[in-house]
């Protein structure tokens, strides 16, 4: 069985074909980066218009590259939330229409489940229960993923900005290009933060919850104070100090989640999982705790449709079918 996956929750228009065994036959991602870059962030109305324009061609390309026709498909999986309402509606409406016209089974998928399962793309399933950190532009969520019920338990989330959002906002403060994550990583390069130190918030109540708005404000104050003194700031040094603080916080909380729950593995997913220092630090920490560490190849970290197709394959194989009136849900939860 070959499943077509469709992803349009934010600013990537993506389609992929995956087999029942989880083999990826094709994955096409049309980035809208140039459209949003002048605004320093995603403009929702422009995103949905771009999806409308790009999706038919992206789906066609995914089918051609996989060497499969519509008749050869066994089903369709599509992101139904969380994400931008207009963007979600483009993908969901396309999927419903195609399923209706071709008489195919289809299922709506939670984007966060896609991210968590991206750790299993092209590899054997992870040992369960595992701790999955979804670190992206919209989320900073720690989940316990198990083979029983509930399959996904949310252990912690951010109380304000998502970690990728913090990367993007700090990059903007430093005059670096959008998206900020790769720009911060590049600017930090191999630089040592030196004496400059920022810290992300640790919750007073001792929970695993994240908060990244404080560190962004600390960077802003630091830059304002330096400007008031007429000092020039080394953007690379600030980027390195910010990145180090964020990485330390993510590592400490992910590790505590592993220890608190007796999890058998740790997985890092989402756009921020492309961050090299974070990958290295979490890998080291997991090894120290004696659990295997999994992180997808970089192309599966940022939004893609292969992860949606993989989640969809499993739901469809379990006999699940979505109703025709299934809505798009911008704030869809996963547990
Ligand atoms: O998962 P994703 O593609 O979209 C969402 O669902 O949000 O994540 C995008 C986020 C952006 O905030 C981007 O700055 C961040 O991932 N990102 C990175 C890196 N590459 C992408 N953050 C830190 N380091 C990176 N190398
Ligand atoms: Zn995402």
Output the six-digit token pair for 53. 């324009």
Range in 27-41, 88-102, 138-152, 185-199 with the lowest mean pLDDT: 185-199
Q: Which ranges constitute the DSSP H helices of the chain?
A: 33-36, 44-66, 85-102, 111-117, 163-173, 180-188, 213-228, 235-261, 276-289, 298-301, 306-317
Atom of ligand 1 nearest to the CA of 270: 1
CA of 184 to the centre of ligand 1 (A): 11
Residue 48 Cβ < 6 Å to ligand 1: no
Residue 181 Cβ < 6 Å to ligand 1: yes
Q: CA neighbours within 13 Å on the CB side: how many for 74?
A: 16
Spatial CB neighbours of 133, under 8 Å, sequence gap ≥ 6: 140, 141, 142, 143, 250, 254, 266, 267, 268, 269, 270, 273, 282
Residue 300 Cβ < 6 Å to ligand 1: no
Reported as a pLDDT band with limits 50, 70 and 90, residue 202 is: confident
CA of 136 to the centre of ligand 1 (A): 5
State yes or no: pLDDT of 78 exceeds 90. Answer: yes
Res 27: pLDDT: 98
CA of 304 to the centre of ligand 2 (A): 8
CA of 318 to the centre of ligand 2 (A): 24
State yes or no: pLDDT of 138 exceeds 90. Answer: yes
DSSP sequence for 107-122: EEEEHHHHHHHGGGTT
> What's the mean per-residue pLDDT of the chain?
95
Pocket test of ligand 1: the residue of 7, 136, 299 to mutate, having most ligand atoms within 8 Å of its CB, is: 136
Spatial CB neighbours of 52, under 8 Å, sequence gap ≥ 6: 90
Residue 275 Cβ < 6 Å to ligand 1: yes
Residue 82 Cβ < 6 Å to ligand 1: no
CA 298-180-239 angle, 5° bins: 105
Q: Whose CA is nearest to atom 1 of ligand 1?
A: 271
- Residues 315-325: pLDDT tens digits? 999 999 999 99
CA of 115 to the centre of ligand 2 (A): 7
Reported as a pLDDT band with limits 50, 70 and 90, residue 272 is: very high
Res 288: pLDDT: 97
Reported as a pLDDT band with limits 50, 70 and 90, residue 197 is: confident
> What pairs with residue 209 in β-bridges?
none
CA of 335 to the centre of ligand 2 (A): 17
| pLDDT (mean) for 231-237 | 94
Reported as a pLDDT band with limits 50, 70 and 90, residue 166 is: very high
Q: Whose CA is nearest to atom 8 of ligand 1?
A: 271
Residue 167 Cβ < 6 Å to ligand 1: yes
State yes or no: pLDDT of 191 exceeds 80. Answer: no
State yes or no: pLDDT of 37 exceeds 90. Answer: no
pTM for the full model? 0.95
């Amino acid at each position: 069985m070959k499943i077509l996956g469709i992803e349009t929750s934010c600013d990537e228009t993506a389609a992929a074909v995956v087999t029942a065994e989880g083999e990826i036959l094709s994955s096409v991602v049309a980035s809208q980066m140039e459209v949003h870059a002048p605004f320093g962030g995603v403009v929702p109305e422009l995103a949905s218009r771009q999806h409308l324009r790009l999706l038919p061609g992206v789906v066609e390309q995914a089918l051609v590259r996989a060497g499969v026709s519509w008749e050869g498909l066994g089903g369709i999986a599509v992101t139904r939330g969380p994400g931008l309402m207009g963007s979600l509606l483009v993908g969901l409406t396309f999927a419903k229409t195609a399923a209706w016209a071709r008489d195919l089974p289809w299922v709506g998928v939670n984007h966060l489940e896609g991210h968590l399962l991206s750790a299993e793309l092209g590899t054997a399933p992870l040992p369960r229960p595992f701790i999955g950190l979804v670190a992206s532009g919209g989320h900073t969520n720690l989940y316990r993923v198990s083979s029983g019920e509930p399959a996904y338990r949310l252990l912690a989330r951010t109380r304000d900005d998502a970690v990728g959002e913090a990367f993007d906002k700090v990059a903007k403060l430093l005059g670096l290009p959008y998206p900020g994550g790769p720009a911060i990583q590049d600017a930090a390069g191999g630089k040592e933060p030196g004496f400059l130190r920022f810290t992300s918030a640790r919750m007073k109540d001792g929970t695993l919850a994240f908060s990244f708005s404080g560190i962004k404000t600390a960077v802003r104050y630091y830059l304002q104070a330096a400007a008031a003194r007429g000092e020039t700031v080394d953007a690379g040094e600030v980027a390195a100090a910010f990145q180090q603080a964020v990485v330390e916080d993510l590592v400490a909380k992910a590790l505590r989640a592993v220890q608190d729950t007796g999890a058998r593995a740790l997985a890092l997913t989402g756009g921020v999982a492309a961050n090299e220092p974070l990958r290295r630090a979490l890998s080291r920490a997991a090894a120290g705790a004696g659990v295997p560490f999994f992180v997808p190849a970089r192309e599966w970290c940022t939004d893609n449709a292969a992860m949606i197709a993989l989640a969809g394959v499993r739901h469809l194989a379990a006999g699940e079918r979505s109703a025709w009136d299934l809505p798009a849900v911008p704030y869809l939860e996963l547990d």
